[in-house]
Amino acid sequence: MDTKAQLGRLGLFDARVPRYTSYPTAPHFGKSVGAGTFAGWIGAIPEGARISLYVHVPFCRRLCWFCACRTQGTQSDAPVIAYLETLKAELALLGKHLPKGVTLSRLHWGGGTPTLLKPSMMTDLAGAIREVAPFAPETEFSVEIDPNEIDGARLDALAAAGMTRASIGVQDFDPRIQESIGRRQSFEITRDAALEIRARGITSLNADILFGLPHQTGGRITMSVQKLLSLNPDRVALYGYAHVPWMAKRQQLIPSEALPSPQQRLDLFETARRLFVWDGYDEIGIDHFAAPSDNLARVQRQGRLRRNFQGYTDDPADVLIGVGASSISRFPQGYAQNTSATGLHTGAIRAGRFSTVRGHAFSGEDLMRGRIIEALMCDFNVRSAEICEDHEISPARLRALFEDVAACFDGLLQVSDKGLAIPPEARPLTRMVARAFDTYAMDTAGHSSAI
């Protein structure tokens, strides 16, 4: 039996599973975590600690059909200006609760389209953040940049604010595919944005590209990857397009009959993967690639790669605080999420309270299973010694757990006294293997294809 047939027999082409950027995943967050819990977790951060901060800007000038993020379109600056004032008030509220001496390990502006902010607004927001938590000497400040919504003045403002890494969304360069997903963005516009970013001394460039898009073929994704490689990105995220039109209504505009089959999705991924590897990139986890000199590649070689809501990261901080509507925070105690409605979020902040409405406090085996899943997603390998040392489980019980999971995958997984490993030929199954360690019930309708 060839590898693809074996993967198919194990259910790869039919399964819908989480991406596991958290454990438990967001659908399992509940109302037991509110603003009071969130404030208490902030207060428990040690003095002088380094934390990470995520700032969510939910506005876009146009709504791309493929996107399932929590965003809203606007052609006017009025709601953006009002939202910025809310962000500043939320940051000030956060500053009242943070212990002394806290500094930033990482800062990320996401969305939506944070680059629709005017230069003065960018400067204003960056200043408000620094008043709450100053940058550490090695702080990384990254921003999601839409090449269609950026110019020299805004790049100057971001560079002056301390941006060290830019992340450009590409998706695909083929005009027919762009038309079918509502995302017109020429290679020339993208290339010029990359050149302008680097001209300002910002040497770290990320790019996102999708496989599994309508009308996508091996030849088309090859052309798009080759164009992307000509920009010499330091990191690339090769995400599988998640077609969930019952959740993201705008995806109903995408011609579902033109989508590739799951088997074709695997072929598209493999085509792109080989091109990145041939060009000298290191494979990072299930869907990222990095230049060997990039810190993401270095931490992977050192066994320190981590995974969070932005994907793979080299961030060592134990605390990630999300600011803005729908943002999610992670603490050693659990997760907390703000309300997704900008009006409700604004109302809470104006009333002097955080807008936290849901979350999850870790209990039982959450931390152990979460670490097992993270290790699988990052390293394709779980070390028994680490799990037994950090969590209350005996080597015998852990091995039995590994063997039970391995039995579900037709002998493809490797179990030993050292731990559990997923060999290269079985790595397309990684999210399914992770799911086998997940004890929470799952509604498959809310998740993307396993490939």
The lowest-confidence range among 162-176, 238-252, 260-274 is 238-252
Binned at pLDDT 50, 70 and 90, residue 106 comes out as very high
- Binding-site positions for [4Fe-4S] cluster read 60, 64, 67
pTM above 0.75, yes or no: yes
Question: What is the per-residue pLDDT across 334-373, written as a single tens digit (0 to 9) for each?
Answer: 999 999 999 999 999 999 999 999 999 999 999 999 999 9
Contact 23, 374 (CB under 8 A): yes
List residues forming the annotated binding site for S-adenosyl-L-methionine: 54, 66-68, 111-113, 144, 171, 183, 208, 242, 328
Q: What is the mean pLDDT of residues 272-295?
A: 98
Q: How far apart are CA 23 and CA 440, in angstroms?
A: 10
DSSP-assigned states of every residue in 366-425: HHHHHHHHHHHHHHSEEEHHHHHHHSS--HHHHHHHHHHHHGGGTT-SEEETTEEE--GG
364: left (phi > 0), else alpha (psi -120 to 50), else beta? left
Binding-site members are 54, 60, 64, 66-68, 111-113, 144, 171, 183, 208, 242, 328
CA distance linking residue 194 with residue 205, whole number of Å = 8
- pLDDT (0 to 100) of residue 446: 59
Q: What is the pLDDT of residues 185-203, one digit of tens each?
A: 999 999 999 999 999 999 8
Determine the Cα–Cα distance for residues 449 and 242; give it in Å rounded to an integer.
7
Compute the distance between CA of residue 448 and CA of residue 245 in angstroms, rounded to an integer. 11
Task: Check pLDDT > 70 for residue 249.
Answer: yes
Summarize pLDDT for 370-386 with one digit per residue, the tens.
999 999 999 999 999 99
Structure tokens, 443 = 């509604």
Question: Residue 52's beta-bridge partner residues?
Answer: 106, 320
Contact 89, 350 (CB under 8 A): yes
Domains of the chain: 22-361 (3.80.30.20), 365-437 (1.10.10.920)
Q: How confident is the model at residue 449 (pLDDT cuts 50, 70, 90)?
A: confident
